[in-house]
Amino acid sequence: MPLLTLIRHAKSAWDYPELSDFERPLNERGRRDAPRMALRAQALPKVTRLISSPANRALTTARVFAEHLGIDFDAIHIEPKLYEASRKTLLEVVTRIEHNPAHVMLFGHNPGFSELAHTLGHCPFDEMPTCAIVHFRLDAKTWKDVGPGSGTLVKYLFPKDGFD
Protein backbone atom coordinates (compact mmCIF):
# COMPACT_ATOMS: atom_id res chain seq x y z
CA MET A 1 0.00 0.00 0.00
CA PRO A 2 1.43 3.36 -1.00
CA LEU A 3 1.80 6.15 1.55
CA LEU A 4 1.07 9.77 0.66
CA THR A 5 1.92 12.77 2.80
CA LEU A 6 0.53 16.17 1.85
CA ILE A 7 2.37 19.19 3.22
CA ARG A 8 1.01 22.67 2.74
CA HIS A 9 3.83 25.20 2.40
CA ALA A 10 4.90 27.09 5.51
CA LYS A 11 3.56 30.59 6.19
CA SER A 12 4.63 33.05 3.51
CA ALA A 13 5.32 36.78 3.48
CA TRP A 14 2.94 39.27 1.91
CA ASP A 15 5.08 42.36 2.61
CA TYR A 16 6.93 42.41 -0.74
CA PRO A 17 4.51 44.01 -3.22
CA GLU A 18 7.16 43.87 -5.95
CA LEU A 19 7.12 40.05 -5.85
CA SER A 20 4.58 37.91 -7.65
CA ASP A 21 2.56 35.31 -5.77
CA PHE A 22 4.88 32.66 -7.24
CA GLU A 23 7.97 34.39 -5.79
CA ARG A 24 6.72 35.02 -2.24
CA PRO A 25 9.23 33.79 0.41
CA LEU A 26 8.51 32.33 3.83
CA ASN A 27 7.92 34.83 6.59
CA GLU A 28 9.41 34.60 10.10
CA ARG A 29 6.74 32.20 11.32
CA GLY A 30 7.19 30.02 8.23
CA ARG A 31 10.97 29.90 8.72
CA ARG A 32 10.33 28.83 12.34
CA ASP A 33 7.56 26.29 11.63
CA ALA A 34 9.12 24.47 8.66
CA PRO A 35 12.10 22.98 10.57
CA ARG A 36 9.90 22.16 13.56
CA MET A 37 7.40 20.28 11.38
CA ALA A 38 10.19 18.61 9.42
CA LEU A 39 11.52 17.20 12.69
CA ARG A 40 8.07 15.82 13.45
CA ALA A 41 7.95 14.27 9.96
CA GLN A 42 10.98 12.16 10.87
CA ALA A 43 8.60 9.88 12.80
CA LEU A 44 6.79 8.96 9.58
CA PRO A 45 7.88 5.98 7.48
CA LYS A 46 10.93 6.57 5.28
CA VAL A 47 10.12 8.94 2.43
CA THR A 48 11.10 7.65 -0.99
CA ARG A 49 10.13 10.66 -3.13
CA LEU A 50 9.59 14.40 -2.61
CA ILE A 51 7.51 16.30 -5.16
CA SER A 52 7.06 20.07 -4.87
CA SER A 53 5.29 22.95 -6.49
CA PRO A 54 7.88 25.26 -8.06
CA ALA A 55 6.55 28.28 -6.12
CA ASN A 56 9.24 29.71 -3.83
CA ARG A 57 7.32 29.14 -0.57
CA ALA A 58 6.54 25.47 -1.39
CA LEU A 59 10.01 24.64 -2.69
CA THR A 60 11.65 26.31 0.33
CA THR A 61 9.44 24.20 2.61
CA ALA A 62 10.35 21.04 0.66
CA ARG A 63 14.06 21.84 0.99
CA VAL A 64 13.76 22.24 4.76
CA PHE A 65 12.02 18.86 4.98
CA ALA A 66 14.59 17.26 2.67
CA GLU A 67 17.41 18.53 4.87
CA HIS A 68 15.84 17.12 8.04
CA LEU A 69 14.95 13.82 6.36
CA GLY A 70 18.46 13.36 4.96
CA ILE A 71 17.36 13.70 1.34
CA ASP A 72 19.49 15.58 -1.19
CA PHE A 73 17.91 18.78 -2.55
CA ASP A 74 18.55 17.52 -6.08
CA ALA A 75 16.21 14.59 -5.39
CA ILE A 76 13.21 16.93 -5.04
CA HIS A 77 11.08 16.55 -8.14
CA ILE A 78 9.58 19.91 -9.15
CA GLU A 79 6.10 19.50 -10.61
CA PRO A 80 4.73 22.70 -12.18
CA LYS A 81 1.17 21.30 -12.11
CA LEU A 82 1.14 21.55 -8.30
CA TYR A 83 1.08 25.36 -8.38
CA GLU A 84 -2.52 26.63 -8.13
CA ALA A 85 -3.75 23.08 -8.78
CA SER A 86 -7.33 21.97 -8.32
CA ARG A 87 -8.26 18.78 -6.51
CA LYS A 88 -8.73 17.09 -9.88
CA THR A 89 -5.27 18.10 -11.13
CA LEU A 90 -3.65 17.02 -7.87
CA LEU A 91 -5.32 13.61 -8.06
CA GLU A 92 -4.06 13.27 -11.65
CA VAL A 93 -0.51 14.09 -10.49
CA VAL A 94 -0.79 11.43 -7.77
CA THR A 95 -2.11 8.76 -10.15
CA ARG A 96 0.76 9.43 -12.56
CA ILE A 97 3.53 8.88 -10.03
CA GLU A 98 5.97 6.50 -11.68
CA HIS A 99 8.27 3.72 -10.46
CA ASN A 100 5.95 2.92 -7.54
CA PRO A 101 7.74 4.68 -4.64
CA ALA A 102 6.48 3.47 -1.27
CA HIS A 103 6.07 6.91 0.37
CA VAL A 104 5.63 10.20 -1.48
CA MET A 105 5.56 13.67 0.09
CA LEU A 106 3.83 16.39 -1.92
CA PHE A 107 4.43 20.08 -1.14
CA GLY A 108 1.91 22.60 -2.38
CA HIS A 109 -0.98 24.93 -1.77
CA ASN A 110 -4.54 25.40 -0.63
CA PRO A 111 -7.32 25.18 -1.48
CA GLY A 112 -6.30 22.21 -3.65
CA PHE A 113 -4.40 20.31 -0.94
CA SER A 114 -7.27 20.49 1.54
CA GLU A 115 -9.73 19.43 -1.16
CA LEU A 116 -7.50 16.50 -2.18
CA ALA A 117 -7.18 15.39 1.46
CA HIS A 118 -10.98 15.36 1.84
CA THR A 119 -11.33 13.50 -1.46
CA LEU A 120 -8.92 10.78 -0.34
CA GLY A 121 -10.45 10.18 3.08
CA HIS A 122 -12.08 11.51 6.22
CA CYS A 123 -10.14 14.44 7.73
CA PRO A 124 -10.70 16.30 11.02
CA PHE A 125 -10.21 19.75 9.46
CA ASP A 126 -11.88 22.02 6.93
CA GLU A 127 -8.65 23.55 5.62
CA MET A 128 -5.06 22.54 6.18
CA PRO A 129 -3.19 25.29 8.01
CA THR A 130 0.19 26.37 6.70
CA CYS A 131 2.88 23.74 7.21
CA ALA A 132 0.31 21.06 8.12
CA ILE A 133 1.20 17.43 7.53
CA VAL A 134 -1.54 15.04 6.41
CA HIS A 135 -0.34 11.44 6.12
CA PHE A 136 -2.45 8.78 4.35
CA ARG A 137 -2.19 5.06 3.84
CA LEU A 138 -3.72 4.39 0.43
CA ASP A 139 -5.83 1.35 -0.35
CA ALA A 140 -4.30 0.87 -3.79
CA LYS A 141 -1.81 -1.55 -5.30
CA THR A 142 -0.17 1.16 -7.41
CA TRP A 143 -0.39 4.93 -7.66
CA LYS A 144 -2.60 4.72 -10.76
CA ASP A 145 -5.23 2.96 -8.61
CA VAL A 146 -5.56 5.87 -6.15
CA GLY A 147 -8.97 7.50 -6.23
CA PRO A 148 -11.64 9.15 -4.11
CA GLY A 149 -12.07 7.42 -0.77
CA SER A 150 -8.92 5.31 -1.14
CA GLY A 151 -7.06 6.97 1.73
CA THR A 152 -7.04 6.29 5.44
CA LEU A 153 -5.75 9.19 7.50
CA VAL A 154 -2.89 7.97 9.66
CA LYS A 155 -1.56 11.24 11.05
CA TYR A 156 -2.53 14.90 11.01
CA LEU A 157 -0.02 17.38 12.43
CA PHE A 158 0.06 21.15 12.35
CA PRO A 159 2.31 23.76 13.96
CA LYS A 160 -0.07 24.91 16.68
CA ASP A 161 -1.01 21.42 17.92
CA GLY A 162 2.19 20.97 19.91
CA PHE A 163 4.37 17.89 19.86
CA ASP A 164 3.28 14.25 19.95
Query: Residue by residue, what is the 3-state secondary structure of the chain?
Result: CCEEEEEECCCECCCCCCCCHHHCCECHHHHHHHHHHHHHHCCCCCCCEEEECCCHHHHHHHHHHHHHHCCCHHHEEECHHHCCCCHHHHHHHHHCCCCCCCEEEEEECCCHHHHHHHHHCCCCCCCCCCCCEEEEEECCCCHHHCCCCCEEEEEEECHHHCCC
- Asked whether residue 132 is domain-assigned, the answer is no
In a domain, 52, yes or no: yes
Domain total in the chain = 1
Reported as a single tens digit per residue, the pLDDT across 77-122 is: 999 999 999 999 999 999 999 999 999 999 999 999 999 999 999 9
Residue 41 has pLDDT above 60, yes or no: yes
Range of the domain at 67: 28-103+143-164
**Structural domain contains residue 80:** yes
Report the chain's mean pLDDT, rounded to a whole number.
96
Task: Please check whether residue 62 lies inside any domain of the structure.
Answer: yes
Is 54 contained in some domain?
A: yes
pLDDT number for residue 161: 85
Is it the case that residue 141 has pLDDT exceeding 60? yes
User: Residue 164: its pLDDT value, please?
Assistant: 43
> Which has the higher per-residue pLDDT, 86 or 163?
86
Looking at the domain assignment, is residue 130 inside a domain? no
Residue 3 lies in a domain: no
Q: Pairing state of beta strands 76-78 and 49-52? A: parallel
Would you say residue 45 lies in a domain?
yes
pLDDT tens readout for residues 124-137: 999 999 999 999 99
Among candidate residues 113, 127, 96, 101, the one with its CA nearest the CA of residue 57: 113
Q: What pLDDT score was predicted for residue 102?
A: 97
